[in-house]
Structure 1
Amino acid sequence: MSRPTENRESKTALSWTGRLAALASLGDASRRRLFEYVTGQPSAVGRDDAAAALGMPRSTASFHLDRLVRDGLLAVEFRKLGEKAGPGSGRPAKLYRPALEEVGASVPDRSYDLAGELMATAIESSMAGGGGVREALADASYSRGRALSGNGSSLDEVLGRIGYMPEQDADGGTVLMNCPFHRLADGHADVVCAMNGAFLSGAAAACGVPEEKVVEDRTAGRCCARIKP
């Protein structure tokens, strides 16, 4: 049997609005049933099988399956079915499977997955090298900030994608109206704010903004740091 040819899935996570739209897409009952059917199968399925299993017209199943692909909840692969291969074996079938990326959203936007990755990286580094966890967390956060920002975008664009909601203030600096790590910071401010500061410093450096412009801002209801003009 021939190997499947998969479409290339984006390596970039959906934006906040994209994640909200994807989850809202499951509000349609037919679409949700198809999503549950596809994700419950051991391998990719075709639209004919999905339509037959759920008792809906093929055209309806096709429409909703393609919408789920567009919204980032399903992915597509093309594969010839059966044992026959070579000339005359027919065109590859379009099959649907769950997308590799999970989709979640919170309101306001949060990035607890990023915090978890930074903390896990720091713990692994500390265990491997014997250094302190706090220093390892600062290093991991700074490095990730640089890595997420090294694509020619401005610092405001980078921070906006992550969920900081940057806004210009009257002095020409930038205030960060949202804390992507709010619930963690609420109970562990010392650790989380240090992690956040290192992350922002790395992002600033990668965007050509002097790191010393990232300063503390303890205004209630927003991020614990701001960017000086």
Structure 2
Amino acid sequence: MTSDSAIGAVAALDDELRRGMYRFIRVAGRPVTRDEAAEHVGISRKLAAFHLDKLIDAGLLQARYEQVGGVRRVGRAPKVYEPTEIEVNVSIPERRHEVLAEILMGAILGATKGETARDTAARVATDRGTALGEATRDHLRPGRLGAERALTLLSSVLGEQGFEPTRTAPGCVRLRNCPFHPLAAQAPDLVCALNHAYLSGLLTGLQATTVSAVLAPHPGECCVELRRAT
């Protein structure tokens, strides 16, 4: 779920009736009908339909038509609702601790003989960034990337990742936010090295040879800066 989608989901739950129905449906452990949801919060079936549709639009619920209760009724089966499997996390500024956790878990599971834990983690971070770059390139098919075009594309990709990229000078993009804070503040040598490996892998996957990822720590910002390669 993107940051915008997560904010939309939280906004949908700002209404007390929707929160009540959503909680009821989550703990029910079975498909819930519109009548049951309406009765639980004490509103009409029509008003419940409106709020349930809002929860579906927010990605929190899914619906289908199904006979319930073991009794087959004449006519169309009633509409039933279940929670989706999405997890909603909202952080401002945006944090992506799950990326760091997956890199470290991959390092534990993928360690090879003669390789230090730090080297394994750096390799996994590079591979993850490379995979993201390759997937982006396969999707967009940008062709050969000059420096300015590469920086524009990278700004879009990293903006979605919560890095808050900003053009600070010709041929240079600063990443104003560290998605791995405050862990980066606790172990800067480790986390910044993994971040640098991740972003370097992204450049490799994108085939953006005209841009380099450079360690250039600034207080309160990401430790990596993207620059036109020299």
Contact 2:6/2:90 (CA < 8 Å) preserved in 1?
Answer: yes
Q: Using the alignment, how far apart are the partners of 1:123 and 1:26 within structure 2? A: 38
Matching residue within 110, 134, 147 for 1:125: 110
Shift of 1:203: 1.2
Sort the Cα spacing of 1:139 and 1:211 in 2 relative to 1 into closer, same or farther, 3 A.
farther
Q: Using the alignment, how far apart are the partners of 1:66 and 1:24 within structure 2? A: 14
The residue identity in structure 2 corresponding to 1:164 is F
Listed as ranges, the gaps of 5+ residues in structure 2 are 141-152
Tell me whether 32-41 or 88-97 shows the greater mean CA deviation. Answer: 88-97
Q: Using the alignment, how far apart are the partners of 1:136 and 1:200 within structure 2? A: 16
| Partner of residue 87, structure 2 | 102
The residue identity in structure 2 corresponding to 1:62 is A
Sort the Cα spacing of 1:211 and 1:91 in 2 relative to 1 into closer, same or farther, 3 A.
farther
**TM-score of the superposition, structure 2-length normalised?**
0.84
Q: Using the alignment, how far apart are the partners of 1:50 and 1:63 within structure 2? A: 12
3-state SS of 1:169 partner: strand
Q: Using the alignment, how far apart are the partners of 2:75 and 2:123 within structure 1? A: 54
RMSD, aligned CA = 2.0
| Partner of residue 65, structure 1 | 52
Sort the Cα spacing of 1:77 and 1:199 in 2 relative to 1 into closer, same or farther, 3 A.
farther
Contact 1:216/1:225 (CA < 8 Å) preserved in 2?
Answer: yes
Contact 2:203/2:211 (CA < 8 Å) preserved in 1?
Answer: no
| Partner of residue 3, structure 1 | none
| Partner of residue 11, structure 1 | none
Sort the Cα spacing of 1:111 and 1:202 in 2 relative to 1 into closer, same or farther, 3 A.
same
3-state SS of 2:158 partner: helix
The percentage of counterpart residues that share the same residue type is: 33
| Partner of residue 41, structure 2 | 54
3-state SS of 2:222 partner: coil
Q: Runs (4+) of structure 1 moved beyond 2 Å?
A: 75-85, 88-94, 129-132, 146-149, 151-154
Q: Using the alignment, how far apart are the partners of 1:78 and 1:123 within structure 2? A: 44
The residue identity in structure 2 corresponding to 1:42 is G
Q: Using the alignment, how far apart are the partners of 2:71 and 2:35 within structure 1? A: 20
| Partner of residue 6, structure 1 | none
Q: Using the alignment, how far apart are the partners of 1:221 and 1:120 within structure 2? A: 27
Q: Deviations over 1:148-193 (max 9, x none)?
A: 2322352221111100011112132111011000111010111111
Contact 1:204/1:211 (CA < 8 Å) preserved in 2?
Answer: no
| Partner of residue 32, structure 1 | 19
Contact 1:142/1:203 (CA < 8 Å) preserved in 2?
Answer: yes
Q: Using the alignment, how far apart are the partners of 1:227 and 1:96 within structure 2? A: 46
Shift of 1:29: 0.6
Q: Using the alignment, how far apart are the partners of 1:84 and 1:42 within structure 2? A: 18
Count of equivalent residues:
212
Shift of 1:202: 1.4
Q: Using the alignment, how far apart are the partners of 1:68 and 1:93 within structure 2? A: 18
Contact 1:80/1:90 (CA < 8 Å) preserved in 2?
Answer: no
| Partner of residue 114, structure 1 | 99
The residue identity in structure 2 corresponding to 1:135 is D
| Partner of residue 134, structure 1 | 118
| Partner of residue 213, structure 1 | 212
3-state SS of 1:142 partner: helix
The residue identity in structure 1 corresponding to 2:203 is A
Listed as ranges, the gaps of 5+ residues in structure 1 are 1-13
3-state SS of 1:195 partner: helix
